[in-house]
Structure 1
């Protein structure tokens, strides 16, 4: 037994004894306790969606151009100086409305003279017919009177036609383009004066390969999307199939838009989608579900977990097809009802434990936001 007085004289002895007691306690505890299992990594939060079977129509895509059902570049039929210009650029006009009036002073004077000649010729013809009734005039003289009358009448009609050509009228109701001439300007025969576009709608003209003839028929529908108005798709009915292929083995097709966008204009470029076959059922997933590596396309398919184990994500090679509206057709690699990762793949490895966040296949942006909230 160690006495207190000795302990005070030897403090190092007390320290040594305390250390031995602590070490013994630790050894006892470790000897009776099993090694703790290493903590499992936390599941990775990802957005998932279910593979769905979707009705899908395959299309043949081509490029077309709009043409107004009624459109014309109004020309001058004869030369002359503009004396009346009662129109403005962009004005709405009715059929037969005067657009431009050229100087016709000389023609109106000539018309007065020819009208007088016609009246004289008519009087001589009437007198000749009366005399011929009583055989008081030879047939030759009566024939000359008839010829003079017809000549005078024809001359007046020709002049009336020339006067009519000096007044340019709208051939149909529509909207004028930008005026290309001015009051007092001299114009030549054939010169374009102004453009006029009718309000009867639009055609879309496009070409397709000869192999597409199997999908085309008069009355069939095509989808039209204008490059400048992509959010206003329209439907057009095929009206004409050219009876002859061009040199490049393409067939020209014309379809009439059933309801064109209000802002549509002639010459606008359009994307035309021709249905290739009937609707088919295909497997689709959001485009964001597909990832790429050196060997091709792949996606992560979710394997359900248990009460003690979380679900896991497994890498699967797939083959995809056509893409449309944020979705992609999956031809091989998955089945209907499979759950796939649509956002958060960058954190995953094959077989990784995950925490699934269900999301709409129509809302990939929301899916990324949900997956990104993983701590």
Structure 2
């Protein structure tokens, strides 16, 4: 032993070599124990999958429109005058012919009394002239003058009655009044709007479409209408009028009548109008969550069955998509009916990765979200 120690002292490099061998042996032992764990296959990634089926689909042309009441008017003053009676209030329901505003007509009423007297006198003179003319006691010229005087008096009274009628503003149709724009005692000018009146007969929707859309439009054709301010209250409208002329921007104006307007609908509300272009076209739709995007374009993962008891794998494929609607997207190229695709959980997937599948419905994105599993 003393000889070995002495030899080591005489040759120190021997100690260095022995130490290196011991370290290598320890490292080899550690790595050898870990190698089986690291070489084991990764656990399959849990994903939601669905089977692709064709489904009927309607293509639409979307545009913006505006509601217009079938009957709506800003009731004007036909003549100028001072308001002496205002028997209605803002928001009141009125019937056709009901008095809305009465202007000062005192002078006209006094004039009417005078003209009524003149008409009565003219009638008496006319009757007397006719009696005298019948016995040739009056010339035809004088009888004609009496007839003319009577008609003149009658016309003057009728003109005054019309003027008095203009001083009394009545509802042209039944409906609901807007906010009053005038007050008692106020002087108004001819043509000035006194109050708005909206009928209760329903609504039109007015919208414009490009001239290319004429192929999809026809009188009595149906369109879908939705109001942003009244969500979940969509309705249909029937086209009543197509403008016979394009405007300067090559658009055609269209008017359609709402079949059943929401109770809270108001004139001038914006509406989203959908014009059907093609109905019941068989297409392949998938949830938008099934499509991923990269520098190479739109992609999806399709399920490949496993072999020799191996789990299925996800194969990445390129696709071409089309129109999107309600969380669904049309796939125009890349998949076929019957394919099983990954609709959720693909965030950690790579091409060829092993997967654990959870079946869901490709047509219901809510189920897709609910059944998505986390990665293991």
Question: What residue number does 1:147 align with?
Answer: 148
- State how far apart, in whole Å, the 2-side matches of 1:367 and 1:214 are: 38
Is 2:214 aligned against 1:228?
no
Listed one character per residue, the Cα deviations across residues 75-125 of structure 1 (whole Å, up to 9, x for unaligned) are: 000111111111111111111111111111111111111100000000000
Number of residue pairs matched by the alignment = 344
* Matches for 1:212-251 after TM superposition, within 5 Å: 212-251=213-252
- State how far apart, in whole Å, the 2-side matches of 1:347 and 1:358 are: 18
- State how far apart, in whole Å, the 2-side matches of 1:102 and 1:362 are: 66
Following superposition, the deviation at residue 305 of structure 1 comes to 2.5
- State how far apart, in whole Å, the 1-side matches of 2:38 and 2:147 are: 128
Question: What residue number does 2:104 align with?
Answer: 103
TM-score (norm: length of structure 1): 0.88
1:241–1:253 Cα contact (<8 Å) kept: yes
- State how far apart, in whole Å, the 2-side matches of 1:322 and 1:164 are: 60
Following superposition, the deviation at residue 244 of structure 1 comes to 1.3
2:345–2:375 Cα contact (<8 Å) kept: no
Q: Higher mean Cα deviation, 222-231 or 330-339?
A: 222-231
Question: What residue number does 2:288 align with?
Answer: 287
2:47–2:342 Cα contact (<8 Å) kept: yes
1:344–1:368 Cα contact (<8 Å) kept: no
Following superposition, the deviation at residue 233 of structure 1 comes to 1.2
Could you say if the C-alpha distance between residues 254 and 36 of structure 1 is closer, same or farther in structure 2, counting changes exceeding 3 Å? closer
Question: What residue number does 2:335 align with?
Answer: 334
1:330 alignment partner, SS class: strand
Question: What residue number does 2:15 align with?
Answer: none
Could you say if the C-alpha distance between residues 83 and 36 of structure 1 is closer, same or farther in structure 2, counting changes exceeding 3 Å? closer
Q: Higher mean Cα deviation, 358-367 or 212-221?
A: 358-367
- State how far apart, in whole Å, the 2-side matches of 1:282 and 1:342 are: 17
Question: What residue number does 1:57 align with?
Answer: 58
Which structure 2 segments of 5+ residues have no match?
A: 1-31
Question: What residue number does 1:24 align with?
Answer: none
Which structure 1 segments of 5+ residues have no match?
A: 1-29
Question: What residue number does 2:135 align with?
Answer: 134
Question: What residue number does 1:309 align with?
Answer: 310
Question: What residue number does 2:67 align with?
Answer: 66
- State how far apart, in whole Å, the 2-side matches of 1:37 and 1:145 are: 127
Could you say if the C-alpha distance between residues 36 and 241 of structure 1 is closer, same or farther in structure 2, counting changes exceeding 3 Å? closer
Following superposition, the deviation at residue 370 of structure 1 comes to 3.5
- State how far apart, in whole Å, the 1-side matches of 2:308 and 2:110 are: 108
Question: What residue number does 2:11 align with?
Answer: none
Could you say if the C-alpha distance between residues 279 and 36 of structure 1 is closer, same or farther in structure 2, counting changes exceeding 3 Å? closer
Question: What residue number does 1:163 align with?
Answer: 164
- State how far apart, in whole Å, the 2-side matches of 1:228 and 1:362 are: 28
2:345–2:374 Cα contact (<8 Å) kept: no
Question: What residue number does 1:40 align with?
Answer: 41
- State how far apart, in whole Å, the 1-side matches of 2:84 and 2:326 are: 58
Following superposition, the deviation at residue 41 of structure 1 comes to 1.0
Question: What residue number does 2:175 align with?
Answer: 174
- State how far apart, in whole Å, the 2-side matches of 1:178 and 1:55 are: 49
Question: What residue number does 1:261 align with?
Answer: 262
Question: What residue number does 2:301 align with?
Answer: 300
Following superposition, the deviation at residue 366 of structure 1 comes to 4.7
Could you say if the C-alpha distance between residues 227 and 36 of structure 1 is closer, same or farther in structure 2, counting changes exceeding 3 Å? closer
* Matches for 1:182-197 after TM superposition, within 5 Å: 182-197=183-198
- State how far apart, in whole Å, the 2-side matches of 1:70 and 1:197 are: 6
Listed one character per residue, the Cα deviations across residues 246-267 of structure 1 (whole Å, up to 9, x for unaligned) are: 2222111111010111111111
Following superposition, the deviation at residue 372 of structure 1 comes to 4.5
Following superposition, the deviation at residue 307 of structure 1 comes to 6.4
TM-score (norm: length of structure 2): 0.88
- State how far apart, in whole Å, the 2-side matches of 1:307 and 1:106 are: 108
Question: What residue number does 2:13 align with?
Answer: none
Q: Higher mean Cα deviation, 337-346 or 126-135?
A: 337-346
Following superposition, the deviation at residue 212 of structure 1 comes to 1.2
Listed one character per residue, the Cα deviations across residues 163-191 of structure 1 (whole Å, up to 9, x for unaligned) are: 11111111011111111011111111100
Following superposition, the deviation at residue 37 of structure 1 comes to 9.7
- State how far apart, in whole Å, the 2-side matches of 1:53 and 1:326 are: 16
Following superposition, the deviation at residue 360 of structure 1 comes to 3.0
2:238 alignment partner, SS class: strand
Root mean square deviation of aligned Cα: 1.9
1:107 alignment partner, SS class: helix
- State how far apart, in whole Å, the 2-side matches of 1:36 and 1:220 are: 69
Listed one character per residue, the Cα deviations across residues 21-52 of structure 1 (whole Å, up to 9, x for unaligned) are: xxxxxxxxx9xxxx899322111011122212
- State how far apart, in whole Å, the 2-side matches of 1:363 and 1:55 are: 15
- State how far apart, in whole Å, the 2-side matches of 1:119 and 1:36 are: 123
